[in-house]
Amino acid sequence: MCDHVSMPSKSRAENRVEQTRAIQQTARRHLAEVGPAALSLRAIAREVGLVSSAVYRYFPSRDDLLTALIVEAYDELGDAVEAADSAVADRDDLAARFHALCHAIRDWARTNPHEYALLYGSPVPGYAAPDDTVTPAVRVSGAFMTLAQAAERAGRTPIATLPVSDAEKAALAPIQGFLDAPIDDTHLLRWLMAWSTVFGHVSLELFGHMHRGVLDYDEHFAQVVGQLTADLGLSS
Amino acid sequence: MCDHVSMPSKSRAENRVEQTRAIQQTARRHLAEVGPAALSLRAIAREVGLVSSAVYRYFPSRDDLLTALIVEAYDELGDAVEAADSAVADRDDLAARFHALCHAIRDWARTNPHEYALLYGSPVPGYAAPDDTVTPAVRVSGAFMTLAQAAERAGRTPIATLPVSDAEKAALAPIQGFLDAPIDDTHLLRWLMAWSTVFGHVSLELFGHMHRGVLDYDEHFAQVVGQLTADLGLSS
DNA sequence: TGTACATCAGTGAACGCGCGTTCACTGATGTAC
DNA sequence: TGTACATCAGTGAACGCGCGTTCACTGATGTAC
């Protein structure tokens, strides 16, 4: 069955994976309690059952540990968003896909408020995100843009769009460059607005700015998404 | 001219005001460098030229100092927003007033990115904002709502609004309660969306999520505000 | 106007704690011959 | 299959530093009679 007759102990490689995971999981729990700025290698080591210097075998510095947490969070959110989109059986039901996308973002954020704050809240002072974070970070906005392109192909165009200045067209050029085929700039503007509205809503909600104003966040978000769906011309 | 013949030294009361201000100003500068979580009473005292324990004459604890900074920031932003609105001579030009409001928020945020992050970024772990912060905090959303009411009175209604569920009407009841006269819920929804869009845009921009996507933030924000103006039915 | 007393800003030492990172080391696991 | 050697996880001490808060105190400013 196995290569070796009996194996009470694990291989070095297995242990390394396990320890790395244990450290990162503990770090993530601490993140929720003290925030990224106060994340302490020593406290994490203590909880994992290591001496503080041993952590350096796994992460060369505190900042690298933070980077690992950021990448993990972006990937989780990216997975959630892409899975929600893929779960819509009728690929041509763009309203359903948009709905799934928006709610996946908010659901993940509500389940993981501290990770959301790490990604979309205040930048961590003294920490500069390395390039490794770019690819995972871009998955969510990528999902928006994929949907925007699908809508454009399907001839579903946003409503009541205003003409866009040449300066704005130039400003949006990088985004157009990422797309397989360019989109009408007035349409792209509405998609970017939807992106801002969704993240604005989630941030305002999670960071406590809707307190005393809105009673039912679920219902309100659903209505907002509904209006966005209509604005984007996706309603059936 | 004065009550006293000559006064090389200041009164106790004057000194107290000055020192309080000196501490708060220094704290604010430190906030920008290390963030709210790492704000250090000792470092502030050192820079002001006091022994660390002396700060307790002015602020009973680190958290009270944080609260003072938050209140100061909310009030500055509130002042900026209200001043921008008031500066529009034609009070019936609601598009101009909305434009002034949105740009005042973003301008203040860009001038004071760390203060913006303190107010609208991640909550500070372990810090609970006391009630003193509520009144200043509410000024900005109050400005939105004032404008919404003016628009409603002027018969300027948002475009393409969707019907709003009874659950949503209930959810928005607190906001309606703050208003002098209730607003159509479908209109209110659009105003709240505008609020989310503006803060979403500013947060995404300031926290680095538009990097590599949008080249000209000024132009893009102007376009977004233009589209919102149209969506709210304020365009002339 | 002068004196006695109260107020309170600021001191300096102390308490009890925490942190990131480096370094020489031990000893178990893995590998090449 | 057995032995010599290399790898590397984890140790423990050390470096040099920081923090919030309390407390008994000094001495100048302000106040009441």
Query: Does the beta carbon of B139 lie under 8 angstroms from any beta carbon of chain A?
Result: no
Chain B residues 33-92 with CB within 8 Å of chain A: 33-35, 37-38
Q: Given an 8 Å threshold on Cβ–Cβ distance, is A201 in contact with B200? A: yes
**What is the arithmetic mean of pLDDT over A153-160?**
97
pLDDT interval class at A10 (50, 70, 90): confident
B170 to chain A, any CB pair closer than 8 A? The answer is yes
The answer on pLDDT for B10 being more than 90 is: no
Q: Which pLDDT band holds residue A3 (cuts at 50, 70, 90)? A: very low
Under 8 Å between Cβ of B41 and B55: yes
Q: Which pLDDT score is estimated for B4?
A: 38
Residue A116, CB-side half-sphere exposure with 13 Å CA sphere: 21
Distances from the Cα of A113 to the Cα of A117, B37, B81, B139, B148, angstroms: 6, 17, 29, 26, 31
DSSP state of B184: -
Among B residues 206-225, those touching chain A with beta carbons less than 8 Å apart: 207-209, 212-217, 219-220, 222-224
Q: Does A73 or A1 have the greater pLDDT score?
A: A73
Among residues B37, B192, B224, B231, which one has the least CA distance to residue A205? Answer: B192
Range with lowest mean pLDDT among A75-79, A123-127, B144-148, B166-170: A123-127
Distance from CA of A69 to the nearest CA of B (A): 16
Q: Average the pLDDT over A76-87 and give the result.
A: 98
Q: Is any Cβ of chain B less than 8 angstroms from the Cβ of A166?
A: no
Q: What pLDDT score was predicted for residue B7?
A: 42
* Tokens describing residue B24: 């708060």
Minimal Cβ distance to B207: which of A38, A120, A161: A120
Single-letter amino acid code for the residue at A218: D
Please check the confidence at residue B205 and state whether its pLDDT lies above 80: yes
Which spans in chain A are helix H? 12-34, 41-48, 62-86, 94-111, 113-120, 134-153, 166-171, 173-178, 185-206, 217-231
- Tell me what percent of the residues of chain A surpass a pLDDT of 90: 92
A226: nearest CA in chain B?
B162
Confidence (pLDDT) at A9: 63
Residues of B in contact with A115 (CB under 8 A): none
Q: What is the pLDDT of residues A163-211, one digit of tens each?
A: 999 999 999 999 999 999 999 999 999 999 999 999 999 999 999 999 9
Tens of pLDDT, residues A140-149:
999 999 999 9
Span between the terminal Cα atoms of chain B, in Å: 56
Please state, in angstroms and rounded to a whole number, the distance separating the CA atoms of residues A25 and A13.
Answer: 18
What DSSP element (H or E) covers B46?
Answer: helix B41-48
The residue assigned the tokens 């040449």 is A166
* pLDDT beyond 90 at B144: yes
From B37, B120, B230, residue closest to A37, measured CB to CB: B37
Instruction: State yes or no: pLDDT of B58 exceeds 80.
Output: yes
Which residue, among A66, A196, A202, would best test binding to B if mutated, counting the most B CBs under 10 Å from its CB? A196
pLDDT per residue over A40-63, tens digit each? 999 999 999 999 999 999 999 999
At B189, is the pLDDT very low, low, confident or very high (cuts 50, 70, 90)? very high
pTM, two decimal places: 0.94
What integer pLDDT is reported at residue A4 of this predicted model?
38
Nucleotide nearest to B45 (CA to C1'): C10
Nearest to B131 by CA among B67, B66, B37: B67
Q: How far apart are CA B160 and CA A130, in angstroms?
A: 43
Give me the residue label for tokens 């700060």: B55
Q: How far is the CA of B37 from the C1' of D18 (A)?
A: 14
